DNA sequence: GATTTTATGTCAGTCTTGTTGACTTTCCAA
DNA sequence: TTGGAAAGTCAACAAGACTGACATAAAATC
């Protein structure tokens, strides 16, 4: 494949429609792989991807509010509420009224919720780890760079804020 | 960031859970961006992602059968059928009874179908092109390598068969 | 103190897209 | 030639998204 370098060393991209289409299809098929393992686990327990997403981001930012979660997930509150309600009823998520602002609900995973989060994320991380290992370290950096450049600016800011919240 | 090379030059991957989680979130947010532009166009015309996927792969392999499409898309035939029916009714897809095997239906885009396909894929390719340009040529190779490694083996074979079908 | 805004939750109804089950037509092989 | 398998269609249902209207409580503002 063309590596995009001219003889003079200048970096150019010769991107044919064909190459771009391959990238698009790669995203499509890879995303299927990406969700396959968690989907299997969720299905056994009667949950769906919506539950996984909620669990993931609550685990990521314990104590986050409903509104916060809404802006991350990009769904309506009615849609999120349905998911949260079942998770609270099933004892996977705890919803605590805010201390400063009593209108807010702060969301936490219970021990049971943590356990499911770990099961889901173990599976997904393992898939990621294997893919990274096969592709190699430089590939991983490229992967991350392209994905970040593909995000909508607003989501990209959100993503990087999450990134800083962790301690990379 | 750690580039995974030891002083001796040996390639190792130091993948913390944190780094893997970032990759997972990057996939999540990037996929939203990836589908955002086509989703907008589809919404205007009263179609959804399922229609886009069908249109994409029919355009990619004109004359493909329903069964072929099923194995690519990974849904039930009943689900695909509903989508195909509306596309045929709306005059975007033509379904021709097979000549050798009359049980088969061979699928083709009409001119109208081609036009929508172009509109959708122009938008999606543009997003891809911008992301590739921002990330740089090496990143593009890494991106593709990781995505491919993330696919289920069966889908990966399918993906590479599509790849050969085109003339890269 | 009264009013408005914000955060959350809920009910009802719709849409897309997935599912399973039952059915027809066609092909092929015993 | 008949019986099973394969390709496709129709019907009914479920998950999970959506909109819109409304309720409640708390905070913020006038």
pLDDT tens-digit series, residues A64-122: 999 999 999 999 999 999 999 999 999 999 999 999 999 999 999 999 999 999 999 99
Residue ranges making up the domain that contains B25:
18-135
| Joined tokens for residue A95 | 């919803």
Q: What's the pLDDT tens digit per position in A1-32?
A: 444 445 544 455 678 888 899 999 999 999 99
Which tokens belong to A48?
A: 């769906």
Interface test with B, best of A52, A126, A145, A163 (most B CBs within 10 A): A145
Given the structure tokens 């859970």, which residue do they identify?
A: B17
- C-alpha distance from A31 to closest chain B C-alpha (Å): 8
Q: Is the pLDDT of residue B167 over 70?
A: no
Which residues from chain A sit within 8 angstroms of residue B32, using beta carbons? 74, 151-152, 155
Task: Give the total number of structural domains in chain B.
Answer: 1
pLDDT at A2: 46
Classify B34 in phi/psi space as left (phi over 0), alpha (psi -120 to 50) or beta: alpha
Model confidence at A138: pLDDT above 60: yes
The verdict on residue B144 lying in a domain is no
A77/B136 Cα distance (integer angstroms): 38
Predicted confidence at residue A4, as pLDDT, reads 45
Task: Please report whether residue B157 resides in a domain.
Answer: no
Please name the residue of chain A whose CA is at the shortest distance from the CA of residue B158: A29
> Which residues have Cβ atoms closer than 7 angstroms to strand C?
A 65-68, 70, 77-78, 81, 84-85, 95, 101, 103-105; B 46-51, 75-76, 78-80, 82-83, 101-103
HSE (CB half, 13 Å, CA atoms) of A80?
A: 19
**Does B101 map to a domain?**
yes
Report if residue B105 sits inside a domain.
yes
Q: What percent of chain B has pLDDT over 90?
A: 79
Quick one: average pLDDT of B111-140?
94
Nearest CA in chain B to A22: B163
Asked if pLDDT for residue A58 goes beyond 60, the answer is yes
Which of B20, B136, B159 shows the shortest C-beta gap to A128?
B20
Task: Identify the band that residue B59 occupies on the pLDDT scale cut at 50, 70 and 90.
Answer: very high
Please name the nucleotide lying closest to A97, CA to C1'.
C8
What is the C-alpha to C-alpha distance for residues A45 and A47, in angstroms, rounded to an integer?
6
**pLDDT value at residue B11:** 53
pLDDT in tens, B4-33: 445 544 455 578 888 899 999 999 999 999
- Which residue in chain A is spatially nearest to B71 when comparing CA positions? A29
**Residue B34 predicted with pLDDT over 80:** yes
Stated as kind and residue range, the H or E segment containing B105 is strand B105-109
> Stated in angstroms, how far is A101 CA from D24 C1'?
15
Q: Do A131 and B138 touch (CB under 8 A)?
A: no
Mean pLDDT of B97-103: 89
- Does residue B3 lie within any of the structural domains? no
> What is the C-alpha to C-alpha distance for residues A4 and B42, in angstroms, rounded to an integer?
33
All residues at 6 or more sequence positions from A158 whose CB lies less than 8 Å from its CB, including other chains: A71, A72, B29
Q: Which residue has the tokens 């997930």?
A: A73
Residue B49 maps to a domain: yes
The position carrying tokens 């979130």 is B25
Label residues A6-21 b or e (16+ Cβ within 10 Å = b).
Answer: eeeeeeeeebeeebbb
B137·A4 Cβ contact <8 A: yes
Q: What is the CATH number of the domain that holds A67?
A: 1.10.10.10
Percentage of chain B with pLDDT > 70?
88
Enumerate the residues of chain B whose CB falls inside 8 A of the CB of residue A39: none
E runs forming strands in B16-165: 64-65, 93-97, 105-109
State whether A136 and B60 contact (CB < 8 Å): no
SS3 state at B136: coil
């Amino acid at each position: 494949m063309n590596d995009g370098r001219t003889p003079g060393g200048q970096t150019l991209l010769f991107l044919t429609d064909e190459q771009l289409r391959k990238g698009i299809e790669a995203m499509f098929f890879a995303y299927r792989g990406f969700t396959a393992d968690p989907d299997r686990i969720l299905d056994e327990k009667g949950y769906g991807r919506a539950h996984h997403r909620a669990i993931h981001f609550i685990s990521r930012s314990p104590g986050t509010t409903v509104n916060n979660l809404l802006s991350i997930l990009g769904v309506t509150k009615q849609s999120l509420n349905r998911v949260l309600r079942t998770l609270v009823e099933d004892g996977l998520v705890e919803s605590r009224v805010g201390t400063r602002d009593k209108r807010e609900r702060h969301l936490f995973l219970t021990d049971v919720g943590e356990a499911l989060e770990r099961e889901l994320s173990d599976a997904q991380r393992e898939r990621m780890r294997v893919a990274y290992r096969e592709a190699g370290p430089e590939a991983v950096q490229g992967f991350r760079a392209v994905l970040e450049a593909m995000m909508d600016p607003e989501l990209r800011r959100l993503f990087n804020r999450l990134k800083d919240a962790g301690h990379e």
